[in-house]
Structure 1
Amino acid sequence: MFKNELSSEDLLRIIFKYTAKIASERSLNSVLVFMADMGREMILSDRCTVWLIDVVSEQLYTTVAHGVDEIRIPLGTGLVGSAIATGEPIIIEDAYSDPRHNSDNDRKTGYHTKSIITVPFRNNDGEIIGAYQAINKLTEIGYFTSRDLEMLTLAASYAGKSLESVMLHQEIIDTQREIIFTMGEIGEIRSTETGNHVKRVAEYSYILARGLGLSATEAEMLRTASPMHDIGKVAIPDAVLNKPGKLTPSEYEIIKSHTKIGYQLLKGSKRELLRAAAIVAEQHHEKWDGTGYPLGRKGEDIHIYGRITAVADVFDALSAERVYKAAWPLDKIENLFREERGRHFDPAIVDVFFEKLPKLLEVRGQLTDKETD
């Protein structure tokens, strides 16, 4: 069914709608989706794809393409590769009459490409970082015009610069995550744990958080922060931390101090991720009934991050084999969680634990501790 060309008022409405969404968004994938939707609506195309340059692999790729999954092609190939290489937009009325059109994707998807418009977009330094590509005009004329080129070029000019800002923000977040994970591993290595312990606790925490109804953003925050739960152990003497026998009361107090130490290390940060890590470090040994440490918080006075990490950490500690203990069988672990529901652990999280247990076990199987020589 053909559509009528948009009026100036309609175009302005679309531009204002999507520029507001893009300006307030920090998720790279969400921005790419908004860009694709804005382009498609502005020029009335059937599909719109946002292509980015992968410099390392020398490929062009898209994670946002209406109707298809991720596509990767060699840099410089296809119409999009040609537009990026020359820096010039391309309009084609009949794709199959142009030798630059890569018809392999059509054969894979069963989709028939007719008309194409491709517009490179640049960052604030004027460097090309990707391109818009719209396919199949939905008006009666059936192909893209100079007006479409003008509109998509306008969208590319704004979106390209906004995209660079989001990509830089994402790079900062990724760097923070890498630092947090590495620091978490350091804390575990000192206590004879393995790097996979923090990986498993992170994944368990994410699964439990989503099962409880936390948003994907908040669950991801916890997954990133939870590897820091034992970072305070870096300040615990080896003689106490790795003592093979039973701890004396004074030694146990020293061990317990790792929660306060971890919190003190992290609490002053202005970064949201590190503030979340501070909460996890301090509160993952608190208990639902108030008998935990360091402050004896009770029930919902314990932050949800601490309550979730407590379940994830204990599950992994009991499941894993160590030089000083054997792994508990699953039925024994299940019995403990039933007994400690409403005592050590938040009842709602224990219920989600049992609901998500098959997925937790799948993660455990994927992230096993490999013996080293």
Structure 2
Amino acid sequence: MQTQSDPAQELIGLVQRLSLARSLPEIQSIVRTGARRLTGADGATFVLRDGDKCFYADEDAIEPLWKGQRFPLGQCISGWAMNNRRSVAIEDIYVDERIPHAAYRPTFVKSLAMVPIRTLDPVGAIGNYWADMRRPSDHELDLLQALADSTAVAIENVQVYEQLDAARTETLQCLARAAEYRDGATYEHTERVADLAARIASELGWEPHRVALLRLAAPLHDIGKLAISDAVLLKPGRLSEQEFEQVKGHAEAGASILDGAHSDVLRMGRAIARSHHEWWDGTGYPYELSGTAIPEAGRIVALADVYDALTSPRPYKDAWTPERARDEIVALRGRQFDPDVVDAFLRLG
């Protein structure tokens, strides 16, 4: 059994941490460990309602319980707590007909307490378990219910935050497409760059969730072009040195547009916008970074952006063949591009 700290102070700390949580996994981590400490329990579970099922999303216990499993609402005590919208304490689980005894026999559990997350319309439940028979007190149930109520608020906050962040990301990606249109590129360019960047990242061994982030962030690479005047961006002839400096400013301008972002997608987009014109040998812009000082996402998008630009027709040039573009990428290996990124690109065929 865990050592129990002062319950009131423990609860205050948990509520404060939940108020700052920005994702469901973060909430789960706070609750599964905090619920156990509140009552000195031997185990705790975080259960989410999944249609007509109870999904045991997370746990913290002396031995494995049911993490990752789903049970019908009517066949588990967490479902009972959700359906009846109230807490329950059971001193001896094997004399209670609401308990599916077969599911509990392989576990250490002898007694339990279960509270719903949001009593008006429960979205889940929090469970505490003990290896010895004991009657969870009303005070312990009140502590767990207070934690569950704070958890419900945290979940709602995360949902609102995610909706707002998704709307902001969608807006910025629309702006990024507008930036591409301004200099003769197309919507398809941003999509192709994102797709190629994601495939290169996968080939480099990135985890799937990071690949997904890169796919969403890559279209933001040239959003800073919105800050460049049409007279310079759309000039048909050769740019003067001063005009070229203005164009180069789009990298930092893009980073500024995305400055202060909290989501992983927009933070990655900011890093890409700022670094996708840096060169591996340090002769790029805006900061002349070199080697691994350049964020890896920026190194990947740099190659994808150049390859697609070479193989796409523009008002000032014809499209290169894929073979010619690959030869150019190889020629710039170790100069403009990260050798590992080039090699991964070539392995894609």
Could you tell me the TM-score, scaled by structure 2's length? 0.67
State the one-letter code of the partner of 1:169: Y
Which secondary structure state, in structure 2, belongs to the residue aligned with residue 42 of structure 1?
A: helix
Match among 76, 84, 87 for residue 78 of structure 1: 76
In the alignment, which residue of structure 2 is the partner of 1:299? 289
Is 1:185–1:194's contact at 8 Å kept on the other side of the alignment? yes
Q: Out of 162-171 and 319-328, give the one that drifted further.
A: 319-328
Q: Identity, % of aligned pairs? A: 21
In the alignment, which residue of structure 2 is the partner of 1:146? 138
Verify: 1:116 aligned to 2:112, yes or no. yes
Is 1:106–1:113's contact at 8 Å kept on the other side of the alignment? yes
In the alignment, which residue of structure 2 is the partner of 1:129? 123
Verify: 1:310 aligned to 2:310, yes or no. no
In the alignment, which residue of structure 1 is the partner of 2:57? 63
State the one-letter code of the partner of 1:128: P
In the alignment, which residue of structure 2 is the partner of 1:31? 27
The CA distance in 2 between the partners of 1:192 and 1:25, in whole Å, is 36
In the alignment, which residue of structure 2 is the partner of 1:155? 147
State the one-letter code of the partner of 2:303: V
Cα distance change, pair 258–172 in 1 and its aligned pair in 2 (3 A): farther
Offset, 1:344: 1.9
State the one-letter code of the partner of 2:298: T
The CA distance in 1 between the partners of 2:136 and 2:32, in whole Å, is 17
Offset, 1:281: 3.0
Note the residue ranges of structure 1 that are not aligned, 5 or more in a row.
212-216, 242-246, 366-373
In the alignment, which residue of structure 2 is the partner of 1:19? 15
Which secondary structure state, in structure 2, belongs to the residue aligned with residue 165 of structure 1?
A: helix
Verify: 1:225 aligned to 2:225, yes or no. no
Offset, 1:90: 1.6
Residues 266-315 of structure 1 deviation map (CA, whole Å, 9 limit, x = unaligned): 7346651557635533541232445445x5x312699844x632334415
Could you tell me the TM-score, scaled by structure 1's length? 0.63
Which secondary structure state, in structure 2, belongs to the residue aligned with residue 120 of structure 1?
A: strand
Offset, 1:130: 2.3
Match among 148, 152, 164 for residue 156 of structure 2: 164
Residues 224-244 of structure 1 deviation map (CA, whole Å, 9 limit, x = unaligned): 53331144679999xx99xxx
Q: How many residues are matched?
A: 328
The CA distance in 1 between the partners of 2:170 and 2:89, in whole Å, is 42
State the one-letter code of the partner of 1:131: A
The CA distance in 2 between the partners of 1:118 and 1:205, in whole Å, is 44
Which secondary structure state, in structure 2, belongs to the residue aligned with residue 45 of structure 1?
A: coil
State the one-letter code of the partner of 2:123: I
The CA distance in 2 between the partners of 1:236 and 1:302, in whole Å, is 32
In the alignment, which residue of structure 2 is the partner of 1:53? 49
Offset, 1:84: 1.1
Cα distance change, pair 153–236 in 1 and its aligned pair in 2 (3 A): same
Offset, 1:198: 1.0
Which secondary structure state, in structure 2, belongs to the residue aligned with residue 70 of structure 1?
A: coil
State the one-letter code of the partner of 2:126: Y
Paired residues for 1:261-300 under 5 Å? 264=253, 267-268=256-257, 271-272=260-261, 274=266, 277-278=269-270, 280-289=272-281, 291-292=283-284, 295=286, 297-299=287-289
The CA distance in 1 between the partners of 2:268 and 2:301, in whole Å, is 16
State the one-letter code of the partner of 1:314: L
The CA distance in 1 between the partners of 2:101 and 2:307, in whole Å, is 54
The CA distance in 1 between the partners of 2:305 and 2:101, in whole Å, is 49
Verify: 1:44 aligned to 2:28, yes or no. no
In the alignment, which residue of structure 1 is the partner of 2:316? none
Is 1:206–1:220's contact at 8 Å kept on the other side of the alignment? no
Note the residue ranges of structure 2 that are not aligned, 5 or more in a row.
314-318
Is 2:88–2:114's contact at 8 Å kept on the other side of the alignment? yes
Which secondary structure state, in structure 1, belongs to the residue aligned with residue 26 of structure 2?
A: helix
In the alignment, which residue of structure 2 is the partner of 1:201? 197
Cα distance change, pair 300–313 in 1 and its aligned pair in 2 (3 A): closer
Q: Out of 194-203 and 148-157, give the one that drifted further.
A: 194-203
The CA distance in 2 between the partners of 1:287 and 1:27, in whole Å, is 35
Cα distance change, pair 289–196 in 1 and its aligned pair in 2 (3 A): closer
Match among 316, 333, 337 for residue 340 of structure 1: 333
The CA distance in 2 between the partners of 1:230 and 1:16, in whole Å, is 45
Offset, 1:43: 1.8
How large is the RMSD of aligned CA atoms in angstroms?
5.1
